[in-house]
């Protein structure tokens, strides 16, 4: 390639898992399969600029800017990822790399910012590989390779390479599923899940006390580890069957069970594992009461943080928005909530 600077950009979404991935094996492989909904509006946009090095050293050379500020923590994590890829992507050591990234939602608060950021970064790397090597991948192979790379940076990021409903992990009932990469999950076109909505209720925008990486590590010695794997596998079989059969009540039941199970595991991992806040519990109780009185099919889920995802369907939107504004927003930090929905996946920002 010439000495010019090339810039590649991708916007990738966050996702919210209904079946939670919790606990991992070597090389970022999951202890159990997971299933998530890809979001539409909660995204990370990352640009990668690269220029041929003038010197011939074989070290990774990179700078990482987050919202315009150079971030040593992000540089360290990205360098570790790129070093792990050098065997299969040796060209990474031949270029000066500059990453510029922005989220449009709070990071490190349980809204899977690592999923959107690592998936955007992985897509930039695969696009760079195509430009440097001249080898254009088929569409399916491009995203599968991106999913593998994203997984190495953040397990849940593997799922953000695809839109709709996505699984990750070897799942007996899903063809071509793998621990190495995520797989789009096909479901009936007439399903209301094609129009599923997600309101993210921001109880706290502060960085959580236990990172996801630490939480996964704590599962290695957890007394409930084997029981959790059995539970997750059973829940996966039940929810995939419910999705295929448009059984929305079972989807709600399993999703809430998974959310509470995740936080039970966190709380029993150590004293710092209590990530739920009083207002988180208030929101849960209000959702349960509203569902009982309204008869709607809505439900909640929670990632590894205090914020609550209210999942509902487009045909319920008017009633749900009124409920959120009047009843739930007072429990949110500064009245803040994010109005999101199921999304179609990443978008390339540069040609």
C-alpha to C-alpha distances, 52 to 4, 80, 276, 332, nearest whole angstrom: 8, 21, 47, 48
Burial of 42 (0-12, 13-18, 19+ CB in 10 A): buried
Two tokens at 299? 């439900």
Q: What are the pLDDT digits (tens) for 202-213?
A: 999 887 777 777
Handedness of CA 254, 258, 264, 265 (dihedral sign): positive
Q: Tokens standing for 60?
A: 């990774």
What kind and span of H or E run contains 184? strand 182-184
Location of structure tokens 């009047």: 326
Number of H helices, E strands in the chain: 8, 14
- Least reliable range by pLDDT among 98-107, 261-270, 293-302, 341-350: 98-107
Query: Per this entry, what is the length of the chain?
Result: 351
Contacting residues for 45 by C-beta, under 8 A, at least 6 apart: 9, 10, 11, 101, 102, 104, 120, 349
CATH class of segment(s) 6-186? alpha beta
Domain 192-341 has CATH 3.30.1340.30: no
Model pLDDT for residues 290-336, shown as the tens digit of each residue: 999 999 999 999 998 999 999 999 999 999 999 999 999 999 999 99
**Model pLDDT, residue 107:** 64
Question: pLDDT (tens digit, 9 = 90+) per residue, 116-139?
Answer: 999 999 999 999 999 999 999 999
Q: How many CB atoms lie within 10 A of CB 117?
A: 30
Phi then psi for residue 155, to 5 deg, are: -55, -50
The structural domains of the chain, with segments of one domain joined by +, span 6-186, 192-341
Specify the DSSP class assigned to residue 342: B
188-207: average pLDDT: 92
3-state helix, strand, coil in the chain (%, to 5): 45, 25, 30
pLDDT for the residue numbered 237: 97
What is residue 207's DSSP assignment? P
pLDDT computed for residue 143 by the predictor:
98
């Amino acid at each position: 390639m010439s000495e010019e600077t090339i810039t590649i950009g991708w916007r990738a979404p966050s996702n919210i898992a209904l079946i939670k991935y919790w606990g991992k094996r070597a090389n970022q492989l999951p202890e159990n399969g997971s299933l998530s909904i890809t979001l539409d509006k909660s995204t990370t946009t990352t640009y990668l600029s690269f220029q041929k090095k003038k010197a011939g050293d074989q070290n990774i050379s990179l700078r990482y800017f987050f919202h315009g500020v150079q971030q040593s923590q992000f540089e360290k994590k990205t360098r570790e990822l790129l070093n792990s890829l050098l065997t299969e992507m040796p060209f990474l050591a031949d270029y000066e790399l500059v990453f510029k990234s922005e989220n449009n939602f709070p990071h490190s608060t349980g809204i899977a910012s690592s999923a959107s950021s690592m998936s955007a970064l992985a897509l930039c790397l695969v696009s760079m590989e195509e430009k440097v090597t001249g080898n254009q991948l088929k569409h399916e192979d491009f995203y599968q390779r991106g999913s593998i790379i994203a997984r190495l940076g953040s397990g849940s990021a593997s799922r953000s390479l695809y839109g709709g409903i996505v699984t990750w992990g070897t799942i007996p009932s899903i063809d071509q599923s793998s621990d190495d990469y995520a797989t789009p999950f096909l479901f009936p076109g007439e399903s209301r899940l094609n129009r599923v909505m997600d309101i993210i209720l921001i109880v706290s925008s502060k960085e959580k006390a236990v990172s996801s990486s630490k939480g996964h590590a704590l599962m290695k010695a957890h007394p409930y580890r084997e029981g959790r794997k059995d539970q997750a596998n059973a829940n996966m079989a039940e929810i995939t069957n419910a999705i295929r059969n448009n059984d929305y009540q079972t989807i709600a039941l399993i999703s809430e069970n998974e959310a509470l199970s995740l936080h039970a595991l966190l709380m029993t991992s150590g004293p710092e594992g209590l990530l739920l806040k009083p207002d988180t519990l208030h929101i849960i109780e209000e959702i349960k009461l509203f569902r009982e009185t309204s008869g709607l099919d809505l439900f909640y889920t929670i990632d590894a943080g205090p914020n609550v995802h209210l999942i509902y369907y487009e045909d319920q939107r008017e009633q749900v928005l009124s409920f959120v504004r009047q009843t739930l927003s007072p429990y949110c930090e500064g009245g803040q909530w994010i109005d999101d929905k199921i999304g179609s996946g990443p978008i390339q920002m540069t040609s």
